[in-house]
Amino acid sequence: MALSPGLSRDAIAAQLAALGVTPGGVLLVHAAYRAVRPVEGGPETLIAALCDAIGPDGTLVMPSWTGDADAVFDPRITPAAADLGAVADIFWRLPGVGRSAHPEAFAAIGPATAHILADPLPLPPHIPASPVGRVRDLDGQILLLGVGHDANTSLHLAELIADVPYRTPAHVTVAGEDGSPRRIDYLENDHCCMRFALMDDWLRAAGLQSEGTVGHAHARLMRARGLVATALARLADDPLIFLHAAEEDCEECDAARTSIAMPTG
């Protein structure tokens, strides 16, 4: 079966506008290019269309962290984690794009870049003083392009604001004062994230999620404030709502549940 024809930059920008992307705003994008393609010119054209949709007064943001917790991160050369996809790894390399100077990096271009990327290493990674926290502060939008809410890092922000009781061991490696690698251990609100999919029904019911096609992918668009507020309301009723039940045999969620009974100091 032949592939659909590759979409142009203008066509994708029009799809983004129809979805509700706001010119002049902040747009945080999580994208799987394999779902979007084919696109004339590849991932670079998709990025250009995203910039067109928000206009010169808008700021485009993408995750850009490293996938290697044991290596020192260099924002000039360290690739983005493989599971972030081709769009995110190409984005940080483009002229004019800024990137956080720490291993939990995001990348951005536009007027709000310095503010969004200004914070030092956030631990856990998605505290309010982090790029996702700044996107929420600025009433930014979140675009899930060919991915679901399991890729939506702003939900970890909601968990931290709600002070969920689970924290599992994690670490990053940074350069010490003498330049040698230094390991930093911390506790992270981590789990499999698959139950973040519950957000679809909650946001749809509240009229807070726009859905459509961008490229050839299913796209979800929401405001970070609405997303976090909706998640916080559910977490207030059940702080463990995003974890699989013990009988569902999920190793990552089981580790999160086990951590609740462990000392954190």
| Band of pLDDT at residue 111, cut at 50, 70 and 90 | very high
H or E segment to which residue 222 belongs: strand 217-223
Band of pLDDT at residue 263, cut at 50, 70 and 90:
low
Using 50, 70 and 90 to split pLDDT, how confident is the model at 249?
very high
- For the cut 60, the answer to whether the pLDDT of residue 129 exceeds it is yes
Residue 92 has pLDDT above 80, yes or no: yes
The mean pLDDT of the chain is 95
Q: Other C-beta atoms within 10 Å of 53: how many?
A: 25
The pLDDT of residue 176 is 86
pLDDT 10s digits, 186-201: 999 999 999 999 999 9
Mean pLDDT of all residues in 98-104: 96
Q: Residues 82-109: what's their mean pLDDT?
A: 97
Average pLDDT over residues 248-264: 88
Each residue's pLDDT tens digit, 50-80: 999 999 999 999 999 998 999 999 999 999 9
Among 112-116, 134-138, 176-180, 198-202, the least confident range: 176-180
Report the pLDDT value the prediction gives residue 208, as an integer from 0 to 100.
98
Q: What is the mean pLDDT of residues 105-116?
A: 98
- Over the stretch 198-207, which tens digit does the pLDDT of each residue have? 999 999 999 9
Domain assignments of the chain as residue spans, ordered by start: 9-66+78-162+191-256
Residue 3's pLDDT band, with cuts at 50, 70 and 90, is low
Got the DSSP string for 33-78? Answer: HHHH--BTTTHHHHHHHHHHHH-TT-EEEEE---S-TTS---TTTP
Task: Report pLDDT for 1.
Answer: 40
pTM: predicted TM-score of the whole model, two decimal places: 0.95
From the number of C-beta atoms within 10 Å of its C-beta (0-12, 13-18, 19+), residue 243 rates as buried
Kindly tell me the burial class for residue 60, based on how many C-beta atoms sit within 10 Å of its own C-beta (0-12, 13-18, 19 or more): buried
